Amino acid sequence: MALAANALAVLLSMATWRTLLSDLGPGVPGRTATRIYFTSYLGKYVPGAVWGVLAQLRMGGAAGVPAPVVLAVFLLNLIVAVLTGLAVGPLAAPWTLGTEAWWLLLPGAVTLAWAVRPGLLHHLAAFAARLARRPSPATRASDRGMRRALASATASWAVSGLHLWALAVMLGAPPLTALPVCVGGFALATAAASLVVVLPDGWGAREGLLLLSLTAVLPWQEATAVAVASRLVCTLSEVLVGGAALLLTLPRRSAPSPA
């Protein structure tokens, strides 16, 4: 169950990216879009934050997607993923931070505001581009496309947290209490750790943050085991899904013409 849950979450994250690509750019065949996404996605295991965007720029350009559109999709997808992750995170707050957790509601309020007024997200994208000393996105997603991206990203976080819940329950966590703790804790830890660009896929940072949530429902030893097992499950499911997608979308060889 843990492996299947995270595999489904990976596919939902691809749906978020494809929604933004379809909304912002020219039509790209499904097979080509899948190859672009998963080549970039698996690049997150390489230290540094540039490999994913470089892969998208090169492969997107070959597919006829202008570089400004590729950069806009990459940036908006990152913002949507982080914001929705931080918005789902407060599910774990009552069991981890108690009355001090009120401030975690802020990302949820911001994300809700963007769901109502998606155009606000473009202002954040422009601000993030200025911080990175890059040009602001030249294209703008439609309100409908942005809402669909927010919905699929939120669903991805909710489903991905189920793998952590399954592992925690296996080691003795109370199922009902562990569900919001694991779903919210995983989303918050992963979204926050993704900002630590010097570590491949937030290795170490995510596990440390996960422990803060897991110790609300498990002793330290079991919580540590679940955090480590979560990393293994996520890595395995991502490599399997990504590898299978790349194999299934290999360019088809044209049949040799008869002599």
Q: What is the pLDDT of residues 70-91, one digit of tens each?
A: 888 888 888 889 888 888 888 8
Q: Over 50: is that where the pLDDT of 259 sits?
A: no
Tokens 């979450």 correspond to 9
Q: Over 80: is that where the pLDDT of 129 sits?
A: no
Q: What's the whole-model pTM score? A: 0.83
Residue 253 placed within a domain: no
Average pLDDT of the residues in 167-185: 92
Residue 256 placed within a domain: no
Residue 99 placed within a domain: yes
Residue 162 placed within a domain: yes
Residue 71 placed within a domain: yes
Is 212:89 a contact under the CB 8 Å cutoff? no
Structural domain tally of the chain? 1
Q: Over 70: is that where the pLDDT of 200 sits?
A: no
Residue 210 placed within a domain: yes
Q: Over 60: is that where the pLDDT of 256 sits?
A: no
Distance (Å) of CA 205 to CA 13, 115, 177, 219, 227:
21, 29, 24, 20, 11
d(CA 19, CA 32): 14
Question: CB atoms < 10 A from the CB of 139, how many?
Answer: 16
CB-count burial class (<10 Å; 0-12, 13-18, 19+) for 21? buried
pLDDT of residue 47: 66
List, in order, residues 6 or more apart from 207 with CB less than 8 Å away. 189, 227, 228, 230, 231
| Residue 32 pLDDT level (bands cut at 50, 70, 90) | confident
Residue 254 placed within a domain: no
Take residue 170 and report the two structure tokens written for it: 């296996």
pLDDT of residue 102: 61
| Containing structural domain, residue 91 | 2-248
Residue 259 placed within a domain: no
